[in-house]
A and B are shown apart, each in its own frame.
Chain A
Amino acid sequence: MRFPVLVEVRLRPGIADPQGATIQRALPALGFAGVAEVRVGKAIRFTVEATDAAAARGQVDELCQRLLANPVIEDTAVTIG
């Protein structure tokens, strides 16, 4: 079976996010008050061939660890299906 996958790569809590901070500073100028905690990450979509959802998740977890995220500064959230 082929499973659609969404991987969200995000900076770990406590890691400074200059991009997020810059976006947050720009928002009041556009009239959006009260926006806080802006964090910028990446969304990566692909499909994976696997016998079942658990096997798909196993593959995706491994490729997240080995390539898609740098565990020193990033976490991932995986959605399958």
Chain B
Amino acid sequence: MTTIGVVVFPGSNCEHDVVEALQSLGAEAVLLWHGDSAVGDLDAVVLPGGFAHGDYLRPGAIARFSPIMASITDFAAAGGPVVGICNGFQVLTEAGLLPGALQKNSGSRFLCAPTELVVASTQSALTCATTAGEVLRLPINHFEGNYTCSAETLAELQGEDRVVLRYVSNPNGSMDDIAGVCSAGRNVVGLMPHPERACDPLLGSDDGRRLLGSLLMAAASRLPA
């Protein structure tokens, strides 16, 4: 069975939603404490949303120094799928596992709303089971989701097909409507919207299953046959 670790930082608040969503897709999900130094024998890792270390200084700035981040960096370097959702995306950019930064929303407002996203690339650990151009409806819930990077980085992301999700209607000022990007190895993915909050029709959308289902597929493809 595919086992996915969900990291808990002090101030994380979406870890149980992620665990529930992954279990509903048939995966085994385990919580990982940020203060532990090893990730153990896992097939994928998710950094959930919330306010790790109170978002003090900058979102993700302190979390990147949590002991578990060193083993997550090693896991990612070995090709392991790592997904950062919302605050988890901010942590991954601060840790240098993904390029760019998440700046305050252009409208200076905390945004909590359903958004429509279009799959820009299916070549990533979070979109490998989706179709290019597919539109997904997922909620956003953030104050700092305005994706910013240098012109060179943006050109690199575009040239290498590493923008994986774009907003249909840009809510926060993100460059190039970017909602999610992946690493050069395509195994590390960060996104601001919350797929785990859209995994049941009762919640208004179950499109999140398309993305988390992709993660399960990416994780399973690493398992020995």
B is a partner of A:
yes
Binding site for B on A (CB under 8 A): 15-16, 18-19, 21-22, 67-68, 70, 72-73
Does B104 contact A19, Cβ atoms closer than 8 Å?
A: yes
Please state if A70 and B106 are interface contacts (CB–CB under 8 Å): no
Picked from A15, A19, A72, the residue with its CB within 8 Å of the CB of B108 is A19
Answer whether residue B61 sits at the interface, using C-beta atoms and an 8 A cutoff.
Answer: yes
Closest chain A CB from B208 CB (angstroms)? 28
Give B residues with C-beta under 8 Å from A: 57-58, 61, 65, 93-94, 99-101, 103-108, 146, 148-150, 173
Residues of B within 8 A of A19 (CB): 104, 108
> Which of B100, B104, B106 is within 8 Å of A72, CB to CB?
B100
A-B contact count (CB 8 A): 36
Given contacts A70-B58, A73-B148, 16 further A-B contacts (CB under 8 A): A16-B146, A16-B148, A18-B106, A18-B107, A18-B146, A18-B173, A19-B104, A21-B108, A22-B108, A67-B65, A68-B57, A70-B101, A72-B100, A72-B150, A73-B101, A73-B103
- A selection of 6 A-B contacts at a CB cut-off of 8 Å is A15-B103, A15-B148, A16-B106, A22-B108, A67-B65, A72-B150
Q: When the two chains form their complex, are residues A72 and B173 in contact, meaning their CB atoms are under 8 A apart?
A: no
Q: With a CB–CB cut-off of 8 A, which chain A residues contact B149?
A: 72
Chain B residue numbers with a CB within 8 Å of A21 are 108
> Given A16-B173, A67-B61, are A72 and B107 also a contact pair (CB < 8 Å)?
no
Which residues from chain B contact A15 at a C-beta distance below 8 Å? 103, 148
CA A45 to CA B104, docked complex, whole Å:
24
Nearest CB in chain A: distance from B117 CB, A: 22
Q: Which residue of B has the minimal Cβ distance to A67?
A: B61
Residue of A nearest to B148 (CB): A73
Given A68-B57, A72-B149, A73-B148, check contact A18 B101 (CB 8 Å): no
Q: Which residues of chain B have C-beta atoms less than 8 A from A68's C-beta? A: 57
CA distance A73 to B146 in the complex (A): 12
Contact residue among B61, B65, B100, B108 (Cβ-Cβ distance under 8 Å from A18):
B108
Closest to A73 in B: B101
Output the least CB separation between B84 and chain A (Å): 16
